[in-house]
Amino acid sequence: MAERNGQEKTEKPTGKRRSDARKRGNVFQSKDVSTVAMLLGVFMMARFMMPHIYTTIRGYLVWIITGIGGDVAQLLSPQLLTITVISLLKCVLPLLLTAVVLGILSHGAQTRFNVAFQALQPRFSKLNPITGIKNLFSLKKVVELLKNLIKISLLLALLYNLLKGDIVPVARMIDMNPFNSAAYMMNMVFNLVIKICMAFTVVAFFDFLYQRWEYERDLKMTKQEVKDEYKQTEGNPEIKGRIRRIQRQMALSRMIQRVPQADVIVRNPTHFAVALKYDPDKSGAPIVLAKGQDELALRIIKAGEENGIAVIENRPLARALYASCELDREIPAELYGAVAEILVFIYKASHREDMFR
């Protein structure tokens, strides 16, 4: 198993790992699948075009026999060469186009038409002879060698089987007319191609599975690589944690600075504290300016007392406000009554103080 820095690659590849591999042109594909797709496509197109090919060849041969009239010099005439090229293109060009189109489609279907410009850049590491020698004995090269040996063995077996069964009919073709001989040979070739396609399809299926397994294996990561990638994409966890703590402290400081604007602080007695402000001209209900628990609650209470804000102890209400209210939001309707009583009490108390001054 591949190792790096003494660590085994046991972790599944991340999305970034896959994306970086695609940018480098490292994509999953099986060349045998593309080969079989082209072979089958060309075979089916050839079967479909057989009447056209037969007619073209027949017309070409008839024109030669009747056109040159026994004059051998006519075989090199420009007219004959033009007709030869045109007849050849009529038969071969559709097959070539089929192979090209299917090759592109089968390759694109496997790679999702990935275009990697990084793969076009020269890599001097490929010129390293030591690396080249190591690659010769890699598992991938061994598998490719075995796969090619299997293909050659299958081809030889199919050819042997064909010749063994058709050697006598082929020998008798001497007595047939040229067109019947050509038709028989074409049928024999088609049967051979069908068997080759079937055999290569099986090879391509197993090659597809192997290439998929090898691709996923090569993309696997060590635990350290996963950590390093996380640091690169998300930042160092320690630094991010420190930043979050600073941001949280700044937010708490801003919240404490708003406590002097409150009308009342509801406490319980040290565990919870909620600072409320009610301005009927700006909101329909009291708004939560600050809230906190334990140490933060004590800081809110202290800031309120230092600025002369009324502090009311009401355990159930303090808990309810802390649990159900968000900062800078109005209190829920079910708490209107309890909060209103407190505000009225504070208003009356402050009004009495003003009268005695």
- DSSP conformation class of 263: S
Query: What pLDDT is recorded for position 357?
Result: 45
pLDDT reported for residue 204: 92
pLDDT averaged over the chain?
Answer: 80
- Domain segments of the chain as ranges: 13-232, 259-356
Rounded to whole angstroms, how far apart are CA atoms 293 and 56?
93
Q: Crossing angle, helix 295-306 and helix 237-257, to 10 degrees?
A: 30
**Could you say which DSSP state residue 119 is in?**
G
Please give the C-alpha separations between residue 255 and each of 243, 249, 251, 299, in angstroms, as whole numbers. Answer: 18, 10, 6, 11
Gap between the Cα atoms of 59 and 323, Å rounded: 93
> Taking 50 as the threshold, does the pLDDT of residue 133 lie above it?
yes
What is the C-alpha to C-alpha distance for residues 322 and 4, in angstroms, rounded to an integer?
A: 52
Which tens digits make up the pLDDT trace of 189-202? 888 888 888 999 99
Q: What is the CATH number of domain 259-356?
A: 3.40.1690.10
Q: What is the pTM of this model?
A: 0.54
Q: Give the Cα separation of 47 and 39 in Å (integer).
A: 12
